[in-house]
Structure 1
Amino acid sequence: MSVTIDQRPVILTGDRTTGPLHLGHYAGSLRNRVALQRSHRQYLLLADTQALTDNASDPAKVRRNILEVALDYLAVGIDPAKTTICVQSGLPALAELTLLYLNFVTVARLERNPTIKDEIQARGFGRDIPAGFLCYPAAQAADITGFRANVVPVGEDQAPLIEQTNEIVRRLNRQIGRDILPEARALIPSVGRLPGVDGRAKMSKSQGNAIPLSATPDAIRDAVRRMYTDPNHLRASDPGTVEGNVVFTYLDAFDEDLATVEDLKARYRRGGLGDAAVKGRLEEILQALLAPIRERRAALAADAGAVLDVLRAGTQDARKTTQATLDDVRAGLGLFAFEPT
């Protein structure tokens, strides 16, 4: 009897379990994941261990949001029959791979990683950097290689982490003497990171400028009304600026009628189109987008046990995959292995 081997490229992606997901996640990654699960072997990692690197004082928050993020995944159309959804802390092989990889990277190299430098500054750690946070590039390398991923969808600001993963892979392969692990390619989405509704920073629940995927109609309406536009566009008759105008940024991301969006931009630039009209268009688009997601999420939340069963099954499957990688790495490095009794 012949065995069919899945030759599709392997994708690893995921999210830290620090809160429910929002429109920024949807635009930058979630809708792409729904499409990619048809053409790739996709693993979605609920990164609770990584979330602890700067939330160790509140582990209950991290644990609680495992279910919240999983609900968002399923509500937007992630299919557990096509995508393996798994919990990072349930995959002990990843922790051991991280420890091994830390021998193939220096502290100086970790500190030079642009993504880590920016995050350290944003969080105001100074020199009080949690070791787990500083070592995140090695942990991400373990995540990626644990699944032998070929493709990793990331924002442009995260690309240095993929570069560092490949550095570790090359050093390890040289040490072992053969290509035991594949390098990964960063897949940058066409839609960049969405700004928050205030226009001053990226969309973030902690900054109060995000629109959750579960937002009510009233919450959506209020968020759109508060959106940053052009502060100099005081009257509808005034010429307005589209660049940096959050409403138009969101229309570019979510309105599929490109011709209408371009017409709105032209009218806004020359004067004669008020902010209220443009916001009305955006609200209509967002209400239509989020209503079915919100309804599916509510239905799924009513049977949380079934969602947890999906996570258990996915984690069990992922445990076999990541353990096989660890076994290969350990054998390649010549580490002693005890047979289980």
Structure 2
Amino acid sequence: MSSEPNVETKVASPPARRQRVMSGMRVTGRLHIGHYWGALQNWVKLQDDYDCFFGAMDWHGMTTAYKAPKEIAPWTREMIAEFIAWGVDPNKSTIFIQSRVPEHVELFMIFANMVPMGWLERVNTWKDAIEEMKANDTHNLGRFMYPVLQAADIAMYRAQKVPVGADQISHLEISREIIRRFNHLYKAKLPEMEPLLTEIPLVPGLDGRKMSKSYGNSLYLTEDTEKDLRKKVNMMVTDPARVRREDPGEPTKCSVYGYHKLYSSAEDIPWVEHGCRTAGIGCGDCKARLAENIEKVSKGPREKKKELLNNPGLLDSIIDAGCEKARAEAQKTLQIVRSNMKW
């Protein structure tokens, strides 16, 4: 009889399959801090728990930049360098360029033929911006059909989750309706993507309005130098009650305070609150501390982005690998789609 101990053998369970996330940014120029706090910082967190596909969406950018398409390619490269510089890891996430995966357009055309016109006419972002679009000559079919391409973008990677803020759920709903209609017509099982709700802080522009390149009120993620940051922060609107240095103010009425909550330490926040309410500090003091803290956060990514752009071979290899992986998944999806359609 064997003298070996009786050891119970356990077969390890296979690792649970991670859910897939898809998100992207429209290529319209350089990224500002609203892009970081609204999406990019959340992407960095998600890549540890999900199978993530993050895209530079240049076809979407063409809807407004069609008169200057030569600008889109450098913007796209810069955007991807920005993604990586701020922590999106090509070894954890698939980073791709939308136009380098032509299957996006093929699936878009399939969806476009089954989407009723009325669905698109009801989209609030289309209705609300019609006059603006007419004024800047972007009242075009590409923007009208934007939600269809968006649905194709998400379905292309069979994503189960899409990170959005609570105010963006309605934008995602039409994508769900399109997928639902496809599944109903062709007895298919493409995932009906669910919103992955994320808390998105309000980041106003320098003048207190929505941050927008068209308003000229943006703080750029890495394009602004330390000197630029100080100059721009000094332009920020503050509590109108603080007319003179000795006037007390209310920090919650000041844009600068909102930025401090994003960029400053737990020690700085009480300093801002107490100093503002007692006039113990001036707005100049408050802004100088903020500019210093933004620079601390931005310096590393700024240098990383510069390194990537100065090493085009490395950046190209990252882009090529991401697009190749994205296209392989896209081709799988089109095989599924065509099989369901019996086409």
Partner of 1:211: 219
- Aligned CA distance change for structure 1 residues 126 and 87 (closer, same or farther; 3 Å): closer
- Aligned CA distance change for structure 1 residues 269 and 110 (closer, same or farther; 3 Å): farther
Out of 262, 275, 279, which is 2:283 matched to? 275
- The question of 1:230 aligning with 2:244 is answered no
Task: Give the 3-state SS of the residue equivalent to 2:294 in structure 1.
Answer: helix
CA distance in 2, matches of 1:83, 1:3: 24
8 Å Cα contact 1:220-1:283 kept in structure 2: yes
Task: After TM superposition, give the deviation of residue 21 of structure 1 in Å.
Answer: 1.2
Task: Give the 3-state SS of the residue equivalent to 2:252 in structure 1.
Answer: coil
8 Å Cα contact 1:115-1:158 kept in structure 2: no
What letter matches 1:94 in structure 2?
Answer: H
Partner of 2:122: 112
8 Å Cα contact 1:71-1:297 kept in structure 2: yes
- Aligned CA distance change for structure 1 residues 297 and 114 (closer, same or farther; 3 Å): same
- The question of 1:192 aligning with 2:201 is answered yes
Task: Give the 3-state SS of the residue equivalent to 1:234 in structure 2.
Answer: coil
8 Å Cα contact 1:199-1:227 kept in structure 2: yes
Partner of 1:332: 340
8 Å Cα contact 2:239-2:251 kept in structure 1: yes
Q: Using structure 1 for the length normalisation, give the TM-score.
A: 0.90
Provide the aligned C-alpha RMSD in A: 2.3
Task: Give the 3-state SS of the residue equivalent to 2:128 in structure 1.
Answer: helix
**Identity of matched residues, %:** 34
CA distance in 2, matches of 1:254, 1:286: 6
Task: After TM superposition, give the deviation of residue 166 of structure 1 in Å.
Answer: 0.6
What letter matches 2:230 in structure 1?
Answer: R
Task: After TM superposition, give the deviation of residue 3 of structure 1 in Å.
Answer: 12
Out of 47, 52, 55, which is 1:42 matched to? 52
Partner of 1:310: 318
Out of 165, 169, 172, which is 1:159 matched to? 169
- The question of 1:255 aligning with 2:273 is answered no
What letter matches 2:331 in structure 1?
Answer: Q
CA distance in 2, matches of 1:93, 1:45: 14
Q: Using structure 2 for the length normalisation, give the TM-score.
A: 0.89
What letter matches 2:316 in structure 1?
Answer: L
- Unaligned 5+ residue runs, structure 2? 1-11
8 Å Cα contact 1:238-1:272 kept in structure 2: no
8 Å Cα contact 1:115-1:157 kept in structure 2: no
Structure showing greater radius of gyration is: 2
- Unaligned 5+ residue runs, structure 1? 336-341
